């Protein structure tokens, strides 16, 4: 496929299986932008303040999002916490709106302070999820060791942002072995080791890959707070491995943007920099641009890129894994080269909320929804 020579590409609408839409004014700004990014279906993360821990909270959140973007299908999730019970899992499965439960190691990323320290204590919940066919979404990172630590008390290497994902992977294999019928997603895979771990598991395990990880390496986030995310971007070798996973067409990997908006002051203000890259309004175009860049650099060949693989990654594979219907054949998006650039700031109409999008100033394909009727 001569992707770079095509001025226009038509694809099914994107399905984004990992997105943060926040709450209050930030939610009102970001939720209508889902369609602008080319998406008609999104899987919504539950790490609000406070987190979405109950079925009633998830349903109320779903109603708010649907009012803001009625043409989008919102798939909801619950926040995995020690108070979650098998009975609550059964209740969630009956809603037809809640599709999974998100696991955060306590303290590993934004609003994860209520997360899990001992994963085995939730085995009865995982058994119920397996029974009721809900998806377990893993933020696959170990909690970082204290600053200055060389080894942990048990003699294992200190955990840093660079090795936190590889050091978590034994937990993935352990869970898959204990619950082989439980659908598990290793979210926002950022390393070659993470990709290989997913490949080693059976068909009930998949991985999501973000748009921004297809563009960045360590150097990019070290010097720019707006590129800082969790997991952080890793090495050039990891970046190339991720791009190859996108175009391999195996069905083991599909799109999850992990688009995570933060106010400018949360990214640049005093104290810790908030982790997250905001890509939602441009996500499909950013992915296509990353593939084109990989072709230009010679990391992949034209004959390795097919329209089936691109459609699979952005739309079909994730829908199939989550047991959703395929996108309507009468609905398409068109990505065209028109010289559009990602803006420096996305702001609300009244100017009270400002977010810096990832890739500001980068030229991307313009996106339009098509009605094929």
Of 65, 126, 51, nearest to 97 by C-alpha is: 65
258: in domain: yes
Rounded Cα distance, 365 and 292, in Å: 11
Between the two ends of the chain, the Cα-to-Cα distance in Å is 27
Residues 43 and 322: beta-carbon distance below 8 Å = yes
Instruction: Walk along the chain (373 residues) and give the pLDDT tens digit of each residue.
Output: 899 999 999 999 999 999 999 999 999 999 999 999 999 999 999 999 999 999 999 999 999 999 999 999 999 999 999 899 999 999 999 999 999 999 987 655 555 555 566 788 899 999 999 999 999 999 999 876 665 566 666 767 788 889 999 999 999 999 999 999 999 999 999 999 999 999 999 999 999 999 999 999 999 999 899 999 999 999 999 999 999 999 999 999 999 999 999 999 999 877 789 999 999 999 999 999 999 999 999 999 999 999 999 999 999 999 999 999 999 888 999 999 999 999 999 999 999 999 999 999 999 999 999 976 5
Domain count for the chain, please give it. 1
119: in domain: yes
363: in domain: no
Predicted structure pTM score: 0.94
Rounded Cα distance, 186 and 172, in Å: 8
Of 77, 81, 90, nearest to 136 by C-alpha is: 77
Residue in this structure with the two tokens 């303040």, named with its chain if needed: 49
83: in domain: yes
Q: What is the 3-state secondary structure (H, E, C) of the chain?
A: CCHHHCCEEEECCEEEEEECCCCHHHHHHHCCHHHHCCEEEEEECCCCCCCCCCHHHHHHHHHHHHHHCCCCEEEEEEECCCCCCHHHHHHHHHHCCEEEEEECECCCCCCCCCCECCHHHHHHHHHHHHHHCCEEEECCCCCCCCCCCCECCCCCECCCCCCHHHHHHHHHHHHHHHCCCCCEEECCCCCHHHHHHHHHCCCCEEEEECCHHHCCCHHHHHCCHHHCCCCCCCCHHHHHHHHHHHHCCCCCEEECCCECCCCHHHHHCCCCCCCCECCHHHHHHHHHHHHHHHHHHCCCCHHHCCHHHHHHHHHHHHHHHCCCCCCCCCEEEEEECCCCECCCCEECCCCCCEECCCCCCCECCEEEEEECC
CA 315, distance to chain mean position in Å, is 14
Beta strands across the sheet bearing 98-103:
14-19, 39-44, 73-79, 98-103, 135-138, 184-186, 205-209, 253-255
313: in domain: yes
342: in domain: no
Q: Which domain holds residue 315?
A: 11-329
90: in domain: yes
Q: What CATH number does the domain containing 224 carry?
A: 3.20.20.140
Torsional class of 133: left (φ above 0), alpha (ψ -120 to 50), beta (otherwise): left
Q: Helix, strand or coil for residue 207?
A: strand
């Amino acid at each position: 496929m001569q992707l770079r020579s095509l001025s226009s590409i038509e694809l099914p609408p994107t399905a984004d299986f990992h997105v943060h839409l926040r709450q209050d004014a930030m939610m009102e700004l970001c939720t209508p932008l889902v369609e602008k990014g080319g998406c008609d279906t999104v899987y919504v993360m539950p790490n609000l303040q406070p987190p979405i821990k109950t079925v009633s909270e998830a349903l109320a959140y779903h109603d708010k999002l649907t009012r803001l973007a009625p043409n989008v299908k919102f798939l909801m999730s619950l926040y995995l916490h020690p108070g979650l019970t098998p009975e609550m899992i059964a209740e969630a499965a009956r809603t037809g709106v809640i599709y999974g439960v998100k696991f955060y190691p306590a303290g590993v990323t934004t609003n994860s302070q209520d997360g899990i320290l001992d994963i085995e204590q939730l085995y009865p919940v995982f058994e119920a999820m397996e029974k009721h066919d809900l998806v377990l979404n893993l933020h696959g990172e170990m909690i970082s060791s204290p600053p200055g630590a060389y080894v942990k008390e048990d003699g294992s290497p200190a955990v840093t942002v660079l090795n936190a994902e590889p050091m978590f992977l034994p937990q993935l294999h352990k869970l898959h072995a204990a619950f082989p019928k439980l659908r598990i997603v290793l979210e926002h895979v950022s390393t070659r080791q993470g990709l290989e771990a997913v490949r080693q598991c059976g068909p009930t395990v998949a991985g999501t890959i973000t748009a921004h990880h297809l563009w960045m390496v360590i150097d990019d986030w070290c010097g720019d707070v707006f590129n800082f995310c969790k997991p952080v971007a890793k090495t050039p070798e990891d970046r190339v491995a991720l791009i190859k996973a996108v175009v391999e067409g195996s069905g083991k990997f599909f799109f999850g943007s992990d688009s995570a908006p933060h106010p400018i002051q949360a990214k640049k203000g005093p104290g810790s920099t908030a982790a997250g890259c905001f890509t939602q309004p441009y996500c499909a175009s950013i992915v296509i641009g990353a593939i084109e860049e990989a072709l230009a650099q010679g990391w992949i060949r034209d004959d390795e890129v097919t329209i089936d693989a691109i459609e699979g990654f952005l739309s079909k594979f994730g829908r199939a894994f989550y047991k959703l219907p395929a996108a309507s054949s009468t609905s398409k998006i068109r990505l065209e080269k028109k010289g559009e650039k990602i803006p420096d700031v996305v702001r609300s109409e009244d100017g009270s909320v400002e977010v810096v999008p990832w890739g500001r100033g980068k030229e991307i394909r313009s996106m339009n929804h098509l009605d094929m009727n």
